[in-house]
């Protein structure tokens, strides 16, 4: 019965499939093949330093090149991967792939990988990461794990132990989508985050008159600074938004204003062209979105 509420989410394949359950098992089957036949790919989106527009690193974002549906974004399949446990294999593959790609890039470049709460509750995660880091030869501090507040939902000794173990591995930790979940300052007290990622819902509309978002962003950045953490503003699209999040103290910026997530060939070309990114303006403040 718990799945009934999610029925609408699975309108993914053709409508002649009778049930959400059938549709899900089709996605599941295709996803199993995807892992085996290499049709999953990591794309990378630049994360840019606020003060000088240089590339600090990238966030790895999963894409699925489906045999009949074309490129699919994670919102179409991550929840199914999580429900079926396939996320463990996908997540491990993503960590290994990101480490191997990092090994091809300059040493000052970091890379963030999203970690599902399902992976986070697997006691094997620290050793999976240790192995991936060792095999690729990268410094562990170049790898950043993005974790959402939902890992604190079943907050227990296991959660604390996982944070301790991950810090011992030497990777960085980022709190993703901050402000959208059960945001509690208690998380910031107990968990050793290196970065807070301010969710794009706070950036969007922040430049509108009367918006409360700017005050919220300001309080997050000053809190982060006091705790010695970086902040990334997510989803920055316009020059006005960029000016604002800089002014409000975000140390890093990520968004279509610089680039969407692109494949490794495009990343190699980008890095070869120098450390600087150019803010392009994905859409104007009022107008419709431009195609890039
Ligand atoms: P996220 O980690 O918060 O990633 C940021 C999302 O915002 C990405 O969507 C990115 O493409 C999008 N984005 C970035 N800049 C802009 C912008 O300026 N405007 C707009 N409108 N959107 C922007 P994407 O790639 O579709 O990923 C969605 C979510 O799927 C991610 O949210 C993350 O939670 C999850 N995800 C992606 N890759 C993985 C993965 O490898 N493992 C796991 N467990 N989850 C993943
Ligand atoms: Mg993320
Ligand atoms: Mg996010
Ligand atoms: Mg998100």
Specify burial of residue 18 (Cβ count, 10 A radius: 0-12, 13-18, 19+).
exposed
Angle subtended by helix axes 239-247 and 213-226, to nearest 10: 40
Report the DSSP beta bridge partners of residue 49.
Answer: 252
For residue range 140-152, list pLDDT tens digits in order. Answer: 999 999 999 888 8
Minimum CA distance residue for ligand 1 atom 30: 74
**Residue-level pLDDT at 24:** 80
C-alpha 62: how far from chain center:
9
To test ligand 1's pocket by mutation, which of 35, 72, 74 has the most ligand atoms within 8 angstroms of CB? 74
| pLDDT > 90? residue 27 | no
Minimum CA distance residue for ligand 1 atom 27: 74
Whether the CA torsion 160, 162, 168, 173 is positive or negative: it is negative
Contact 23, 10 (CB under 8 A): yes
For residue range 179-215, list pLDDT tens digits in order. Answer: 888 778 888 888 899 999 999 999 999 999 999 999 9
Location of structure tokens 């463990």: 88
CA distances from 137 to 100, 103, 125, 219, 261 (A): 8, 7, 18, 38, 25
Whether the pTM exceeds 0.90: the reply is yes
Q: Which residues are near ligand 1 (CB < 6 Å)?
A: 45, 61-62, 73-75, 78, 91, 94, 114, 116, 146, 176-177, 200, 234-237, 254-256, 261
């Amino acid at each position: 019965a718990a799945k009934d509420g999610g029925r609408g989410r699975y309108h993914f394949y053709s409508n002649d499939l009778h049930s959400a359950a059938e549709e899900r098992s089709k996605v599941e089957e295709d996803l199993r093949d995807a892992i085996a036949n290499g049709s999953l790919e990591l794309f990378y989106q630049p994360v840019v330093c606020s003060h000088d527009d240089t590339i600090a690193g990238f966030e790895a974002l999963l894409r699925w090149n489906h045999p009949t549906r074309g490129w699919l974004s994670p919102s179409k399949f991550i929840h199914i991967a999580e429900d079926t446990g396939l996320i463990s294999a996908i997540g491990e593959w993503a960590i290994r792939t990101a480490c191997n790609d990092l090994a091809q890039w300059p040493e000052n470049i970091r890379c963030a990988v999203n970690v599902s709460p399902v992976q986070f509750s697997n006691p094997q995660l620290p050793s999976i990461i240790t192995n991936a880091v060792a095999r690729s030869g990268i410094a562990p501090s170049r790898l950043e794990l993005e974790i959402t507040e939902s890992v604190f939902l079943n907050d227990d000794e296991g959660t604390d132990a996982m944070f301790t173990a991950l810090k011992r591995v030497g990777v960085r930790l980022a709190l993703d989508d901050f402000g959208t979940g059960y945001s509690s300052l208690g998380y910031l007290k107990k968990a050793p985050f290196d970065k807070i990622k301010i969710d794009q819902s706070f950036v969007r509309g922040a430049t509108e008159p009367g918006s409360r978002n700017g005050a919220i962003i300001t309080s997050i950045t000053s809190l982060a600074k006091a705790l010695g953490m970086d902040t990334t503003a997510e989803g920055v699209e316009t020059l006005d938004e960029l000016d604002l999040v800089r002014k409000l103290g975000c140390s890093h910026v990520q968004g279509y204003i610089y680039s969407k997530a692109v494949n490794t060939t495009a990343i190699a070309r980008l890095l070869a062209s120098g450390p600087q990114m150019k803010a392009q303006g994905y859409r104007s403040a009022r107008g419709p979105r431009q195609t890039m």
